[in-house]
Each structure stands twice: as structure tokens, then as C-alpha cells.
Structure 1
């Protein structure tokens, strides 16, 4: 009996998603009892029953393409845009699944896709998730699709800024994706020889950064490269936010206006804290600073060989999971071996950089300032 598989790509785009689509299509076509149907624009297509035929040579030539031929959206069934905010349209997704007589749904996406996949699984759908995340913050797997390409692009960007920083005697600050985890910033920063690397896991001491750059100035190196994750925070800011939280909970007295003003500043954008860092460094060092925000740049373009291989492996494993009835799970590659983990084990969790990670030790060994003193290093 033929099994029908639905496929969608959700969340933010990243390189390697088309490679995964191709891998799934190739694996399905190799099996006589499997069929594949694509849904357009992530969960929007599932909720609205908008499909794309993935046969007839559509998958030819997409291995090297960035983005996703299916289109993408951040919307999830349990929180779809509505006139008065959002609406739970999970039942619409279930109805489409049944109307299309699907036997499984494969979702390529990140943390929100995992959450949506778990919800659909609990609603009775047979769901398999393939992990993708340019910032590599999905737990349970060595790497997610898109990370290697993002790291390579970020490394090249920092490399290119090195000569400009040197020629102009400036501090070049490169802001990278990383709301909760600093894998992209740490990996690219270390690979490109950044002088300072700041990540969310370790709130930084500005004094240590200033001292590190000051030391370079004394040694005749009147420029520096700083790689900073978008959500890296100073120890001062973290302490203030903790005080604000206590204030909000009624556990601490103080000025509401001061707390509110600072919280408003914090929420103005990804680069707000980075801009403050740049200004403080100019004041302390006397060097001009410039900020480059890579943003979505690291998500596009041709995927690296590593991302193509990972996407192909995860795709093949995902189809195997469907064929063998392993549902409500995420395909992973852990310690080099392919396997799967329950969605419940990874939902609402983050893979964070730890103090004992080899990249942290490596950074210390080559004299990179991480803005914090870590015991034992």
C-alpha cells in the first residue's frame, strides 16, 4: 500500500533546505510505495491546503540553491495571524492532512517548528522533523542544517573586515545571529581570528574588553576585531534586568520610571546593546568603531559541502523514519551517527555553549578575549 508524505519548510530560511528537499524527494522516488506532496510557505500551506507538485524534474538542480523552493513562513498552526491577533488553526492543519490522505508529515525547521510538530503529533498526525538552524541552537544533534554555511559566510566577512580595520585603525564590530546561543559567533570569530568574542552564554565585563584592546594598542596594534552575538549582554545589563524583574514582582523598591526607561531601551532592536558597546569602546580606547550587522546575509547563498551532506543524510533518515513508523521524533546526527530523538525531549530547549567546550578552551589558548574570566582557564 502506498504511503503519502507531506513536506514543508518552516521558520527562517537557511542554506541547505533545498538540499534536504531534494534528498527527501530522491529517497521517496527510490521506494515504490511512497509518494511526496509539498506544502507552500511553511505551515501556511498546510493550514490553507496550498500544495506544490515535487515531481517532473522540479528537484533537478536545487542541491546548490539557497532558500527553499517550497517557500517559508514563521507562522505556526497554533498561532496563525488573525484580525484580532492570532488564532489556533491546528484543526485546519489536521483537516488538510486527512483530506490529502497523508500518512506522514515531514517538517524542516527550527525550534518553533519542533513546537508546532509536537502539537500536531499530539493532535494525531504522524510527524517527523528535520532540524535546521543557522545559529545551531537546537539540542540533541551535533549540527543543524544551515549552520556550517552561516559560519563560513560569517568567517569570510570577518576576514574581509580585518584589512579595513588595520588600514583605518578602527575597532570593527561584527554582529551575528544568536539570541540564546553563541555557536555562530564563537565558531566564526575563532576561525577568523577575532580579538574579542562575546556570546549570550557569558555576560561580559566591559573592563576586560577595554583592557584587551588597550593591550593591543600598547603593543602597536591600533585596531581590533570584535565578534558579538546579537543577544550578548554586559554583566551590568544582566544585573539591571534582574533588578527590573524583581521590581516588577514587587520584591525591590526603586523608580518605576528609571526601570521602564531602561527596559524600553533594551527592546528597541537587536543592535541596541552592540551600539552601546561601540560607543563605550570609542570613549575608552580613543579608536573609532564601526558596526557591521550580518543579519540575514549568513542565511543565503550556496550551501557548503558539509551542509549538503548533512541535509542529505537527515533527509534519507527522515524518509526511513516514515517507512518504519518512527513518528513524533526529530532526525539527528549525534557523534557522527544518525538517529532520532522524541520531540518532547527537545521542545523549548536550547543547545548552549558551555565553559568546557573545546572552542572556548581554544579561544583562551590563542589569547582571544571572551569578556569574562572562566575558572580553570
Structure 2
């Protein structure tokens, strides 16, 4: 069999580990021929593909980034204005030209949607959910989430000493436009006193009251963890807005820190490396069994397939009954 593999959407720590997780068993165990598609779906449009041999995969497990490159191209949403051919038809030409039996698509929600559209055109696809936001429907955990949470938690840990020394309120902004998984998990792991996520909303007066309450309890500093997607006024960044509002509400000196793209960089955690190996190997197994149109999913401790038609166009958000939120409230953590 001849398969193509691509990484699409935003990058995350250790995409190379997933590429390795798919390609090594595909080549060594199943005897498949593997080709790398450069720059996500753009590589299918531009016919930018290269053969991937087993020796190329050595050393990828703990390396950062992706050897295939990535892009946010959405070929089913944007068409070439200066061409008589649209992007979907150009992708189909590339797939037929190289005789790919299956395309492995690694990415988040946009990638899952695009892969599903490809499958409706008759292309055999298998996908792997990769996003630090952890918001792909149909899987408990996405590759890259644990690494991003570890980076954010380390930053929160470091801010504790500064906040304590200067008796300040420290606001740290982490990624998450619509989903607050990183803020929730890193905030809880890092001992955040206040955690604000898009799904729950917040009342700034409650935030101020919590900080004042802590002061009365002999706790002169507070750590506030916010997801970038929480609602603000005047289009201000989340951390800036919350810091300004806290100072207004309480009069306490407040400083903000925005982690930004640092959450996407570096090498993956041990958990993500093992998850890449499990998910990648399962993807190769699905291809061998001709089980196409599936996304590789982690359900509890089990790796299993989920039909793309069930998850495309959906997002997995944090619910108010999440056990971390329930236990956090019982511990006195404010969620807005």
C-alpha cells in the first residue's frame, strides 16, 4: 500500500513524534510505502510530496516541530481566483497522480473537517487529533495537550514566588479561544486561585471579592489564570483587561503575563510521546485493515476508531460538571 501523511493547522510540541508513530509501523511492520505531504493540505494542492524512508524517522521522537511543515489552508473554503481549477480538484489530481491508497491527516478541528470533506469525495482517509486546545470531539485527549499544560503549569509555578515576594496579583493568560482546557488543567495543577475560561463566563466583581477575601485570610497575593478567549471589553487582550479590572476593583498592584506561542514550542512530554506512538500505530493498523473515514481516539485508556462523520464540525468544550471544576470549587477556587 502507498500512503501519504500530512500535518495541518497550528503546530504543537512534537508533531514529529506522531509522524514517527505512524510511519515506523507502516513501513517496518506492514510493508507500506510512505510519502510526506509538505505544508498540510497545501502540499496536496501544489503536489509537494516527498518519499519518507525509515532512516528519515530516526531521532524524531523527542524533536520539536514537524519535518513536514504545516499550514492553516482550508481548501474546501477558499478557491483560487486566478485559476479555472479549485483546490479540491487539484488535491484529487495529486492523490490520483501518486496513487495514494490512503491519506493520514494529523490536526485539530479544521483538519478533521477537511479530511471528512475529502472522504466524501471518495478519498480514503484516517485522522489523528492533534491540538493543544484539546477541543476535538470524540476523544478524551488530543496529542499536544499534555505538553502545553506542562509548559503553562511550569510558568504558573514560577509566578508564585514573584507574586509572593511582591505581594501582587499575577494574571497569566494561556491559549484557548473557545475551549478552556489549558487554563483549567494548568490552573488547577499550578495552584491558581482564580481560573477563568470561556465556557463558564465570569463576573469581575466576584473576582475582586475573592482577592479581597484572600487578603483578609492573610494571603496577600493571588494567581489568576485566564484563557485567551474569555470575553473582554474594547477588544483588549484577556490578561490586560482582567489585570486592569482587578486593580480598579481592589486597588491591588496587578501584573499580567501572556504565554502565547511558547505553549506550542519545544519537545513533547513523555505522556505525549507515548500517546503519539499508540495513536500512530493504531492509525497504521486501521489502514492495513482498510478501515477508512475514521479518527483515532483515546477513550479512557483505550485507543479506538471514531467515524469522522460523527465528529466533523463539532467541538469538545469544558462542562460545568467537570470533576476538576467541582473539586476546585470545593477547595475554594474561584471560577468567576
* TM > 0.5 fold call: yes
Structure 1 vs Structure 2 CA RMSD: 1.6
**Equivalent residue for 2:62?**
64
For 2:312 and 2:260, the matched residues in 1 are separated by 25
Residue 274 of structure 1, CA deviation:
3.4
For 2:57 and 2:157, the matched residues in 1 are separated by 34
**Equivalent residue for 1:354?**
319
Q: Which aligned pairs between 1:1-377 and structure 2 lie closer than 5 A?
A: 3-55=1-53, 57-80=55-78, 82=80, 88-233=86-231, 265-266=234-235, 272-371=237-336
Which range is displaced more, 23-32 or 321-330? Answer: 23-32
Classify the secondary structure of the residue corresponding to 1:53.
strand
Which structure 2 segments of 5+ residues have no match? none
Residue 187 of structure 1, CA deviation:
0.3
**8 Å contact kept, 2:79–2:86:** no
Residue 296 of structure 1, CA deviation:
1.1
For 1:33 and 1:276, the matched residues in 2 are separated by 55
Deviations 1:190-220 (A, max 9, x none): 0000010000110101111111000111223
Aligned length: 334
**Equivalent residue for 1:248?**
none
TM-score normalised per structure 1 = 0.85
Classify the secondary structure of the residue corresponding to 1:105.
strand
Classify the secondary structure of the residue corresponding to 1:367.
coil
Residue 69 of structure 1, CA deviation:
0.7
For 1:52 and 1:307, the matched residues in 2 are separated by 26
**8 Å contact kept, 2:227–2:238:** no
Which structure 1 segments of 5+ residues have no match? 238-261, 372-377
Residue 83 of structure 1, CA deviation:
5.9
**Equivalent residue for 1:259?**
none
Residue 52 of structure 1, CA deviation:
2.5
For 1:32 and 1:209, the matched residues in 2 are separated by 56
CA 1:172–1:81: 2 relative to 1, 3 Å: farther
**Equivalent residue for 1:244?**
none
Classify the secondary structure of the residue corresponding to 1:58.
helix
For 2:165 and 2:29, the matched residues in 1 are separated by 58
Classify the secondary structure of the residue corresponding to 1:5.
strand
For 1:77 and 1:223, the matched residues in 2 are separated by 49
For 1:80 and 1:288, the matched residues in 2 are separated by 47
Classify the secondary structure of the residue corresponding to 2:52.
coil
For 1:205 and 1:344, the matched residues in 2 are separated by 38
Classify the secondary structure of the residue corresponding to 1:117.
helix
For 1:88 and 1:173, the matched residues in 2 are separated by 46
Moved over 3 A (4+): 79-84
**8 Å contact kept, 1:79–1:89:** no
For 1:20 and 1:286, the matched residues in 2 are separated by 48
TM-score normalised per structure 2 = 0.95
Deviations 1:324-355 (A, max 9, x none): 11111101111111111111211121111112
**8 Å contact kept, 2:79–2:87:** no
CA 1:109–1:286: 2 relative to 1, 3 Å: same
Residue 162 of structure 1, CA deviation:
0.7
**Equivalent residue for 1:246?**
none
For 2:30 and 2:268, the matched residues in 1 are separated by 30
